[in-house]
Amino acid sequence: MAAFLFRRLMQSALILLGVSFITFVLLYVLPADPVRQIAGRAATAQTVENIRQQLGLDQPFVVQYGRYLLALVQGDLGRSYLQKTEVVDLILSRLPATLLLMMAGISAELVLGLSMGIAAALMRGRLGDQVLMMMSFVTVSAPQFVVSLLMLYVFAVKLGWFPIGGYGTAAHLVLPALTLGILGSGWYSRMMRSSMIEVLRADYIRTARAKGLGRARVVLRHALPNAVLPIIAMIGIDIGIFMGGIVVVESVFGWPGIGQLAWQAIQRVDIPIIMGVTLVSALAIVIGNLLADLIAPFIDPRIRLR
């Protein structure tokens, strides 16, 4: 276990290093000069050169990347070029909002996805199954921006059940979390359905039914814990998809998370923020996968971490 953890942590560090390198290269070769963005349209050539020197952007790539890494290991993500604020502060101020939305969103996905998957598996081949699978197909392919706006319009503007965007109370959380839940539930319901169908065919299920246990008890106590196993691994992967998809939902609902921050930074070529958010997102994905691996043996004793 300890050896496994050590090896995985080393791997994670390498992955993060790789991510930092690739992102840095991509931003370096970008045909847009961050110094021009900072200097503004009225700047003289002299001003532009001054800023370039002060930011060290006149240095060769290796020096720039080396300096970035050196600061990074000290926990310094640099200062935003345009906001002039420490990137660490910008991310930390927004991270709680994103984590909260992520947890609520994944919970919503699971509740919706799993129950739809179970219901579809139990109704396999019948109309209910087809309707549910059709729905999962629609939600997976639906454009996030449109669904978010639709949810906002119907439940906040028309019905007035929830605030029109914003952050702060539990009521603010419901709509964005539900939107993420609906959009992501399709993956889970499809996976849950096939996993459940497989488990329902297993011998021990037939045994349980033969013992005379009720249908509900068989499904919930015997089938579900076994069918849900592959789903656990999927949550770890889902965090990655989530970090990408949360940008749109955060924008529409005015949710002050890091997705919003990243989107703005990309438009303004604010490299330190783009780097910082990319690294933090990569970290979240790495941690998510690691946790999924660590939890697996507790659910399925056949899995051993070596």
Residue number, 112 or 252, with CB nearest to another protein: 252
Counting Cα atoms < 13 Å in the Cβ hemisphere of 270 gives: 23
- Only one of the segments 62-70, 83-91, 102-110, 214-222 lies at the binding site for another protein (rule: CB under 8 A); that segment is 83-91
Question: Does residue 23 belong to the site contacting another protein (CB under 8 A)?
Answer: no
- Only one of the segments 30-38, 197-205, 222-230, 285-293 lies at the binding site for another protein (rule: CB under 8 A); that segment is 30-38
In angstroms, the CA 248 to CA 259 distance is: 8
Sequential DSSP letters for the chain: -HHHHHHHHHHHHHHHHHHHHHHHHHHHH-SS-HHHHHH-TT--HHHHHHHHHHTTTTS-HHHHHHHHHHHHHTT---B-TTT-SBHHHHHHHHHHHHHHHHHHHHHHHHHHHHHHHHHHHHTTTSHHHHHHHHHHHHHHHS-HHHHHHHHIIIIIIIS-SS-SS-SSSHHHHHHHHHHHHHHHHHHHHHHHHHHHHHHHTSHHHHHHHHTT--HHHIIIIIIHHHHTHHHHHHHHHHHHHHHHHHHHHHHHTT--SHHHHHHHHHHTT-HHHHHHHHHHHHHHHHHHHHHHHHHHHHH-TT----
**Which tokens hold the place of 239?**
């965090």
Interface with another protein (CB under 8 A), residue from 45, 62, 127, 216: 45
- Only one of the segments 89-97, 171-179, 188-196, 295-303 lies at the binding site for another protein (rule: CB under 8 A); that segment is 89-97
Compute CA 7 distance to the chain's CA centroid, rounded to the nearest angstrom.
24
- Only one of the segments 49-57, 59-67, 129-137, 287-295 lies at the binding site for another protein (rule: CB under 8 A); that segment is 49-57
- Only one of the segments 171-179, 200-208, 220-228, 267-275 lies at the binding site for another protein (rule: CB under 8 A); that segment is 267-275
Which residues from 178-207 bind another protein, rule CB under 8 A? none
Question: Does residue 253 belong to the site contacting another protein (CB under 8 A)?
Answer: yes
In angstroms, the CA 113 to CA 117 distance is: 6
Question: Does residue 43 belong to the site contacting another protein (CB under 8 A)?
Answer: yes
Question: Does residue 29 belong to the site contacting another protein (CB under 8 A)?
Answer: no
Question: Does residue 245 belong to the site contacting another protein (CB under 8 A)?
Answer: no
Q: How far is the CB of 196 from another protein (least distance, A)?
A: 39
Interface with another protein (CB under 8 A), residue from 4, 153, 161, 204: 153
Residue number, 151 or 286, with CB nearest to another protein: 151
Question: Does residue 272 belong to the site contacting another protein (CB under 8 A)?
Answer: no
Question: Does residue 267 belong to the site contacting another protein (CB under 8 A)?
Answer: yes
Interface with another protein (CB under 8 A), residue from 11, 54, 107, 207: 54
Interface with another protein (CB under 8 A), residue from 72, 122, 166, 230: 166
Query: Number of residues in contact with another protein, rule: CB under 8 A?
Result: 53
Give me the residues that bind another protein (CB under 8 A), please: 30-33, 36-48, 50-51, 54, 79, 82-85, 89-90, 93-94, 97, 149, 152-153, 156-157, 164-167, 250-257, 260-261, 264, 267-269
